[in-house]
Chain A
Amino acid sequence: MHFRIGKLPFLFVPFLLIAASPVQARNVEQTASQSKDSGQYVGSETCKGCHEDIYKAMERTSHYKMGFQPGAPGKGVNCEACHGPGKAHVEGGGDKSKIIVFQNLSMADANKRCLSCHTYGNEHANFTRSAHASNDIGCISCHSPHHAKTEKALLVEKQPQLCYQCHTEVKAEFSRPYRHRVNQGLVQCTDCHNEHGGFLPRQLRTSVAQDQVCFKCHTEKKGPFVYEHLPVETEGCTSCHTPHGSTNPRLLRVSQVNLLCLQCHTLAMSNVPSQPPIGPAHNQAQKYQACTMCHAFIHGSNFSEVFFKP
């Protein structure tokens, strides 16, 4: 696609005329607890007088731009949009009890302040129901408007080190020989997981077509196929693979492929009632040592019921 930055497509001009109206500033919502009396605000330049280092750090962030929103109470309310009106704090000689200090808030209250603006979009929509929120991991656990190490998303630490600070087992998994290249910077935790929560367990994302997120990169496994390998669709990729990292090739759950296959494909007296998979009659000890040497297209096939062909 060709984007011509600086010249907007004709089709979107009507939308832009509506959107660029002065009322757009209403999108900078103020929480109920904040005063709408502009007289209580002193402006960010006042805050800078005592908190110059913090102010300078924030100047390069996207929050700083909010001070240029026309119509917001007062002029340049960057600091006070989060910390509340500052007049009493200034007049109290820097009295911390007269200003909102996030370290003194509960995580839930701190989250509310962030979500009062960052409430739009699917990315944050499920945060209150997320595993992070349920475990008292809030916005300021990972983000910092003043001391961020990354410009994008204002994270206190880069991925994946940020995630490793709590998810220590994942750090070990990504160091195994067969792994997704997270430590090498090719893949990020947020490529597969929505850190702010989602509709699926483990905060997993989905593909565009609401299928498993694995298919975003592993497109040839996606199908649809005439002959589906049933567990791929019903149980998911993790029925055979460990997605972070494994000591086994192809990130399999076991070291020997035949063992994995036989644990499902076994003919027993009271087998799974539906159908095959029956067990193979192959002599495992002498030949047929590798199931996938013959059943090479095990994720699905259009031309072979036994997955010999693609």
Chain B
Amino acid sequence: MIRRGRPADIFAGAPVRPARGLDRKEWFMRKRLWLLAALLLAPSWALAQTGATGTPATDAAAAEGKDLSDYHVEQSIELGYRFSEVNGSGSMFDTFINQHAGPRFLDQTLSMHSLNNDGVLFDDLNVSSFGWGGDPENVGRIGVSKNKWYDFSFLFRRDQNFFDYDLLANPLNPPTSDPNLPVGFSPHEMQIRRRMYDTGLTLMPQSKVTVRLGYTRNRSEGPSFSSFHEGTDPLLDQAWNVTQNDYHFGVDFKMLSKTTLSYDQFLEYDRNDTDYALNPFNVFLLPDGTPVSLGLPINSDAAQPCTPVFRNGFVNTRCNGYFAYTRNQRVRTTTPTESLSLQSTYLKRVNLVARGTYSSADMNSPYAEFFDGLVTRTNERQFTFSGPASARRIAATADFGVTVELTSKINLSDNFRYDNWHMPGTWNSLATATVGTGARVTLLSPLGPTETTMAFIGNFLGQKSFFNLMQVEYLASKHFGVNVGFRFRHRRVFKAEPETVPDPESGLPEFEGDTISVNEYAPVVGVWFRPTSSLRINLEAEATSADNFITRISPRQRQNYRARTSYRPVRWANLAGSLNIWESRNGESDTQFKQHYRNLGFVASLLPKERVGFDVSYNYTNALQQALICFNFSDTVIPVGTVVDGCPTFNADENNNPDHILSTYVNHTHYFMANLMVKPVKQVTAKVGYGLTSVNGTTTLLNPLQPLGPLDFTYHQPLAELSYDVAKYWSLNAYWNYDQYNEGSFVGPTSPRYFHDNRTTLSVKYAF
């Protein structure tokens, strides 16, 4: 029934909120509230997030909240234990999933809202986090605000990034080598923890002058491997240590109606203190008992690191080898950035945005490198490199956007961007090289004289570019619209290096360089249809052509076609489909670069009843990348200057029998996912699901020992969940996940990559 009358009459007799001025009971209630907030804020944060594999927050115990004092409070917490069993490659499991057994603080949320928007310190408080106790992803969020006065946000993210796909950077030591020493891990393995902190504070958000403060910290650290080439290729311990601190101050002025002028100042400090040292990998003894590392590639057929590798059970003293190696750097980069922007809708029918930024980064880094061993190519027994490097990145950008409502159905918009950056860099190097003594220098040869070399190295890279996109949009009705536009882009790249012979007049090396200019032209068109309120269809197309190219795989022609549709025939059914096609070409006769990415997919979500739900999705991707390449694949030597199928020979010192082929990479990826949710009774929710990623394809075989690896695999991921509301506010939950990764191609001269795992998480959740 609709009640007429004045608001006061309608609500006569409605509950009256407590007047200001607290009695003792009220005071203690508020104190308990602050204590509750402090306890939940202090130790850890958990995010109410359903994305984590195997640990989604169930909806079965949805929080209704309670009114405590002057706040409406909703809270949930989920604690549990994960059981994890892995079979097969633990490295692959850690690379893909990395969820091990142990207790878990799975999930936590807290929200407090002032009932009368008159809280003492805040009106709204939101705290949420997930993944504590050992999961590879931990996220915590805090949001606090008080109407008109401030808005504070804090985001913490911790990422345990483990990577060990053993085919990456692997030397693929052949089984025919003597000795046969395959490398069963990736020489670029990583176990890096990244912690990111993002803090933002906005003061007086609704006033004429608003101040914004921000601080961001990004810290990455942890052990990892690297490699290096000099003589042989040693495995290096890479102690990853990278830190970034950003400080931000901004102010918005809203003095004029519907117009904002903003100034932002950013200060960015980057620090890279990653150190390197020789890892004791493939260490064997010389005849005098001295240990020496032979490095990663052990291929006696190719004389890596020498042939024969062993003599009488000891390392061949004429081998390339490492006794010691260290490398230290202290990279410091300071980047102040200023930004001035204007945004206005003051003029009727005109939306205007303009922004200008200027950034100037300064990098300085001392460097020290030490080697002790043998490089047979140069007979060096020791060398050092040192000297400071410095580089700058000076960048200026200008952006402009305007939309003009010509009529109620026609809009004209223009988007312009100018970007100019240049990066000069220099390195003053001091190198010492100590060769061994004797007619045949060996690992046991005494050190001879040391030669010192100093050099000045300079480089320059810069790019000026601008693009402009102009569009006309016609909104025929609420059922149909079309937009047509044209984008033009110009780029000019300049790269320079100093000449080796200094200028006779100045005595300084002059820079010689190359300039490449590229102009791109791209008409764009888009159409959308809404025949009914439940059906939408979008079609877009753009075609780019360029008159030049920067790299061989930079396309000179590019087309993109996109189609999307969504249909909601009834309230409980959502259907969506998409088609996305990218085609790129560079038809130069000696390049013949072709690339395409063709994708087709659909999603269906059905929730006919509250107790039954089903969703399914399928996606197919066809990816291709091909280009003509010249490469060597044998030791056959042909006369220098010979051209074979368009591939010139290199020089007499190297294997120079190039092969000219059309290299190709083709990938077919199928993705399928289905989930079924049922609530047989009100207190019980069950879900079963299945995910599958299947890949197959072909690629040019450059090395017969290289398996297809990631180009031929299946990845099965079934799951199940059960939730039981045992009592008001309490629920018991069980999550099961299974993963199986299986490559179809041969393993190759490294470790197998198959794995399967079972993970079961049991938890209890309390929510109100």
Contact = CB atoms under 8 A, between A and B. Distances in A.
Interface string A55-70: 0000110101100110
A167 B126 CA distance: 29
8 contacts: A46-B10, A175-B671, A181-B137, A224-B363, A268-B591, A268-B630, A285-B703, A310-B331
Contact of B576 (A1, A60, A165): A165
Interface of A: 1, 3, 5-6, 8, 12, 15-16, 18-21, 23-24, 26-29, 32, 42-43, 45-46, 49-50, 59-60, 62, 64-65, 68-69, 90-91, 93-94, 103, 105-108, 115, 119-122, 125-126, 128-129, 134-136, 151-152, 158, 160, 164-169, 171-172, 175-177, 181-186, 199-200, 208-211, 216-217, 219-220, 222-228, 230-231, 233-235, 239, 247-250, 253-259, 262-264, 266-275, 279-287, 289-290, 292-296, 302-303, 305, 308-310
Contact of A217 (B113, B194, B393): B194
Interface string B109-128: 00101000100010110100
B628 A119 contact: no
A210 B218 contact: no
Given A134-B471, A168-B601, A107 B478 contact: yes
Q: Sorted from nearest, which 9 A-B pairs have the closest CB atoms?
A: A19-B207, A226-B425, A172-B619, A281-B654, A294-B229, A106-B478, A172-B671, A274-B514, A302-B389
B735 to A, nearest CB: 14
Contacts of B695: 247
Contacts of B767: none
Given A45-B11, A171-B619, A274 B401 contact: no
B545 interface: no
Contact of A121 (B157, B213, B343): B343
Interface string B449-464: 0000000010101010
B601 A283 contact: no
A134 B50 contact: no
A167 to B, nearest CB: 7
B697 to A, nearest CB: 8
A106 B474 CA distance: 13
Given A239-B551, A255-B711, A303-B389, A292 B741 contact: no
Contacts of B554: 231, 235, 239
B475 A108 contact: yes
B566 interface: yes
B551 A272 contact: yes
B407 interface: no
Contacts of B591: 268
Contacts of A262: 629, 631, 663, 702
B530 interface: yes
A294 B227 contact: yes
Nearest to B711: A255
Contacts of A91: 4
Interface string B597-629: 001011100000000000001010101010111
Contact of A293 (B296, B403, B578, B647): B296
Contact of B168 (A108, A185, A250): A250
A122 to B, nearest CB: 6
Contact of B551 (A171, A235, A250): A235
B631 A220 contact: no
B321 interface: no
A121 to B, nearest CB: 7
Given A120-B260, A183-B51, A293-B227, A166 B578 contact: yes
B551 A286 contact: no
Contact of A308 (B131, B228, B248): B228
A134 B121 CA distance: 42
Contacts of A15: 204, 209, 211
Interface string B239-250: 000101011100
B137 A184 contact: yes
Nearest to A227: B459
Contacts of A279: 629-631, 650, 658
A64 B115 CA distance: 11
Contacts, number: 511
Contacts of A94: 2
Contact of B475 (A23, A106, A234): A106
B409 to A, nearest CB: 9
Contact of B242 (A8, A219, A228, A305): A219
Interface residues of B, number: 225
Given A283-B655, A289-B705, A168 B619 contact: yes
B490 to A, nearest CB: 13
A186 B734 CA distance: 23
B291 interface: no
B391 A125 contact: no
Contact of A285 (B148, B163, B599, B704): B704
B254 A120 contact: yes
B417 A199 contact: yes
Nearest to A263: B627
Contact of A199 (B117, B229, B415, B715): B415
A164 B390 CA distance: 44
A305 B459 CA distance: 10
Nearest to B660: A268
Given A122-B343, A310-B329, A234 B463 contact: yes
A97 to B, nearest CB: 16
B270 interface: yes
A110 B551 CA distance: 45
**Residue among B229, B274, B429, B536 with max Cβ neighbours from chain A (10 Å):** B229
Nearest to A11: B211
Contacts of B266: 208-209
A220 to B, nearest CB: 5
A18 B253 CA distance: 11
B503 interface: no
Contact of A309 (B136, B369, B391): B369
Given A168-B578, A283-B633, A230 B427 contact: no
Contacts of B632: 280-285
B382 to A, nearest CB: 17
